[in-house]
Homo-oligomer: A and B are copies of this chain.
Amino acid sequence: MFVLKKQLNIVIIGTGNVATQLALTLFKQKHKILQVAGRTKRNATELASKVKAEPITDLKKINSTADLFIVAVKDDAIERVVSQLKLKNKIIVHTSGSVNASVLKKVSLNYGVFYPLQTISKNRSVNFREVPVCIEYSNSTTEKLLFALASSLSDKVYKINSSQRKMIHLAAVFACNFTNQMYAIGEELLKENELSFEILKPLIAETAEKIKNNKPSLVQTGPAVREDKKTMKEHLKLLKDKRSLQKLYRLVSEEIIKTKK
């Protein structure tokens, strides 16, 4: 029978943004990080030293007694890692928003996904209690462990299948990465005119604040939603030397008008 321990022994594979913040949070929650595997000695040691783990670079040296193996590497590196592992009855998960859970099938029968839905940077600490964690699992043994683990870190645990997770990841690309690019374009336009990005900060804060209690589709403002063609035309004129931004301006304005209808 599977007995759920409160403190798990965990091996982390990866040393990037997600691996770092996840390892730090697990360590703080009293889970034991046995090893941190990195591509270079330096990367592995840097993170391992912060969570009292053994740094390794060779996946053959992995400690197979651990309760859980977390593959937190770039999406396109997951397969390479997986091809080097064999952990038949151990529980293994990856942390990706867009990779099928089943790529882990070759490693173990007990596999799943532990996907924290947040924009995570190495050097910016994350309050994991507020981070929605999407879990997926191959069987009930894995389910129990993942649900307990996720609940020990976050108040927002979602049981989600692969196709839902991919859609959430895509929605997140729009709402986070593309949003950040809109900020970056604002920053660039101001900089070119010797204006400080500071002036946009209260607007950006309010735009994000507003949707906490409102559907974004219902609180749009600005020239596009007013169908104020004169202002839109003038904006396109200001962008005349930036063809791709002109195209983007047109496209997003059309989307705003469509959404309204």
Contact = CB atoms under 8 A, between A and B. Distances in A.
Contact of A248 (B169, B228, B255): B255
B255 A206 contact: no
B195 A167 contact: yes
Given A158-B199, A181-B259, 14 more contacts: A74-B228, A75-B230, A118-B203, A119-B207, A126-B206, A132-B203, A156-B202, A166-B238, A170-B238, A180-B207, A180-B216, A180-B221, A187-B216, A201-B211
A203 B117 contact: yes
B221 A181 contact: no
Nearest to A17: B221
20 contacts: A75-B231, A76-B228, A76-B231, A98-B234, A119-B207, A121-B219, A131-B202, A156-B202, A158-B199, A173-B222, A173-B224, A174-B182, A175-B185, A175-B186, A175-B207, A178-B182, A179-B182, A179-B207, A180-B210, A183-B216
A89 interface: no
